[in-house]
Amino acid sequence: MIAQKYFRLILLLFFIGISNNVLSQNAGLHFDGVDDYIMSDIPPIAGNTAKTVEAWIKTTANSDPNNGGVQTVIVEMGTQATGTRFTLNILNSNAIRIEVQGNGINGTTAVNDGLWHHVAAVYDPLATTKVALYLDGALEASGNLTTAVNTSATGNIQIGRRCDAIHYFNGTIDEVRVWNVARTAAQIANNRNVELCNATANLVAYFPMNEGAPGLSNSSNTNISSYGNNYGTGVLNGFTLSGSTSNFVTGKSLGAGMTIHKINIAKCNSYTWPVTNQTYNTSGNYIGRIAKSNGCDSIIKLNLNITTVLRSTINVHACDTFTWASNGQTYATSGTYMDTLATSGGCDSIVTLNLTVSPIAPTAINVTACDAYTWPENNQRYTESTQAYKMLKNVRGCDSLIILNLTIHKKDSAHFYVNQCNPYTWNATGLTYTKSGVYNAVLVTSYGCDSLVTLHLQISPAFRVVQTEIACSTFTWDKNGKVYTSSTTDSVVYKTAANCDSIIVLDVFIIKFDVTVANKTTYLEANLSGAEYQWVNCFTRLPIVGATAQTFTPTATGTYKCLITYLGCVDSSACTTFVKTVGLNNTNKNNIKIYPNPTHDRVYLEGFELHRSQTIFVYDVQGNLILSKEIVGNGIIDLSALANGIYVIQAGEVFQRVAKM
């Protein structure tokens, strides 16, 4: 034990000797009340557990909201929700206050007199009176909160500001201590006037704030350290770190505590620190603790710079010999050589040379070209197969012979002649051609050279002709000699002069109609409606003047027939014997006439009552309604917009087929 004690003493003296500086004691931090605060990496004392917060403060700020002031926060942990924030601050009457969001307990003594005051807040969940406030070592206020304490596990300990970024402290804070136990009145009173000497049980955070030099430039001190049971860091936010405000200033004069030393050490690859007996492989800031002979710890803050020994390899090919600039030596044989260089950090850098010493063998290149080739090595153009040579210096400065083996292939051309009845798809292009012409394609031969192919194409298209005929009773087609007695479609195929098939299509319409006559006893009537009529005396073979209606009432007994004209065709009924009966009244039937038939454009309708409205309908031969028109009395139907063909006209109860030509 004695040997270990002396070892640590010698170690401490060693580090003090090599340390760059010893941190000031009795320094504190001045907060400007605008944006200065400290955010630590130390989590809160969570839940409904015991807590003690201590600090030395000096302020003249008005924090009393009842007198125009604004609350100022000393130390806080947790988050902004009911019961989850634990805050030591100055509020009513400029006295200290402990609060959890939703409730708090306030002191009565103003602390904004510009003097140093020690403040402490204790929460003991097991005590009858759970909250106590201490001012300068004496009990200031106590009581119980009406809001349950449930400090959040998030929201790290911060100094000089509330967690919702308001109520910044205006004044100086020093010697902040946070405990996870309820400290007694005696412990608070007995330890308030001295800095802590060493690690103490239940000490969660301890910020002596001695990192900076009071009133001087401290721009490099952007954080402070916590020396509780576990080390931590508080980052300085908003501080100007120069002058007498928003900077390190003279803190509360306290009895000597632990000393803090900063040392800078640079090592190669790794470093085993005797203070912690740990080996570090990376650069960084590390903290160690050594107990001094007076019972107080000495905190060593190590700024370690690790420089990794560099190892590199270079590969070199040489023609004859190679002189290595690293060591100035010349090598004539292949091999692996090493050299050690000192870096700026004092660490060696090892360089390995992999050297190959050998002459350069000739290089042959084989080139195949179409028609001609220009060799970039000598810029000469060759039109025939050949072998050429060129001596070059390579990147190592060695002579290198390049041999060109050149093969020249000539371009080809070909012509194809094609006669085609239909569109022609050419395999050479994959395109389909519908017109005669000369077409070219460029193909690649097996040697990779272009080959020009020309297509001479003659397209002789086939023809299709449609012949439309309308005939009465029969039609004889001169193309095939056939006789057609009914409407039909037929075709014949023949060869053109180019031996291509052509087709003629016959679309023939045979007009047939009823030419029978009915003897109605008192008159004769043609059975076909919608035609043109001429009644004839069979005995005299003369037409009867004025007998042009569908019905005919002879004036005398005789034999009569009807010449019927329908769709341009004329036929005669058989002769019918009519007997004139004396004493019977003969009446003429009102007839509706639709003519002419066939027609080119218009059809006339007669026989209607003069003032009677009548709708006329026109259908095609499939029964589809084509058009309709309302007329009063007689009228006209215009068929000029319709295609040529057969149509059916309905006028009341009369249906008549009409041919449009």
pLDDT in tens, 209-243: 998 999 999 999 999 998 888 889 999 999 999 99
Residue environment code for 303-335, b if the CB has 16+ CB neighbours within 10 A, otherwise e = ebebbeeeeeeeeebbeeebebeeeeeebeeee
pLDDT for 622 equals 65
Assigned token pair, 643: 């295609």
Q: Is the pLDDT of residue 522 over 90?
A: no
The pair of structure tokens assigned to 386 is 């050949």
Residue 23's pLDDT is what? 54
**Taking residues 86-95, what's their average pLDDT?**
97
The three-class DSSP label of residue 508 is strand
Mean pLDDT of the chain: 84
Model pLDDT, residue 342: 66
CATH number listed for the domain at residues 517-591: 2.60.40.10
Residue 163 has pLDDT above 50, yes or no: yes
Picking from 302, 268, 271, the residue whose alpha carbon sits closest to that of residue 284 is: 302
Average pLDDT over residues 513-534: 89
Q: What is the mean pLDDT of residues 329-340?
A: 83
Higher pLDDT, 203 or 589: 203
Helix (H, G, I), strand (E, B) or coil at 40: strand
Dihedral pair phi/psi, residue 535, rounded to 5°: -85, 140
Q: Which residue in 347, 191, 334, 337 sits closest to 254, CA to CA?
A: 191
Tell whether the model's pLDDT for residue 84 goes beyond 50: yes
Q: Per this entry, what is the length of the chain?
A: 661
**Judging by DSSP bridges, how do beta strands 483-484 and 488-495 pair with one another?**
unpaired
* Domain boundaries defined on the chain: 1-25+256-308, 26-253, 311-357, 363-409, 412-459, 464-511, 517-591, 594-660
* Average pLDDT score over residue span 16-20: 46
- Asked if the model's pLDDT at residue 2 lies above 60, the reply is no
For residue 598, pLDDT over 60 is answered with yes
Query: Cα–Cα distance between 87 and 73 in angstroms, integer?
Result: 7
Return the higher-pLDDT residue of 316 and 91. 91
Counting residues of the chain whose pLDDT is more than 90, the rounded percentage is 36
CB-CB contact of 251 with 216 (8 Å): no
Tell me, what amino acid is at 172? T
**pLDDT for 1 beyond 70:** no
Distances (CA, A) of 581 to 551, 556, 586, 588, 635: 17, 9, 10, 16, 38
- Rounded to whole angstroms, the Cα distance separating 544 from 551 reads 13
Same CATH fold assignment for domains 517-591 and 594-660: yes
Cα–Cα nearest to 291, from 622, 3, 8: 8
Reading the block at residue 92, the tokens are: 């009513």
What architecture does CATH give domain 26-253? Sandwich (2.60)
- For domain 594-660, give the CATH superfamily: Immunoglobulins (2.60.40.10)
Among 162, 187, 144, smallest CA distance to 54 is for 187
- Note the pLDDT tens digit of each residue in 388-437: 888 777 666 677 778 889 888 877 778 878 887 778 898 878 888 888 88
Predicted pLDDT at 343 = 65
- β-pair partners for 357: 318
Mean pLDDT, rounded, for 374-378: 87
Q: How many Å separate Cα 355 from the centre of its chain? A: 52
- Helix residue ranges, H only, 31-171: none
pLDDT band at 31 (very low <50, low <70, confident <90, very high): very high
DSSP E strand boundaries for 91-222 = 96-100, 103-106, 117-123, 131-135, 138-143, 158-159, 170-179, 203-207
Which residues are paired to 268 by β-bridges?
307
Between CA 300 and CA 307, with CA 304 as vertex, the angle to 5 degrees is 160
Position 48 pLDDT exceeds 90:
yes
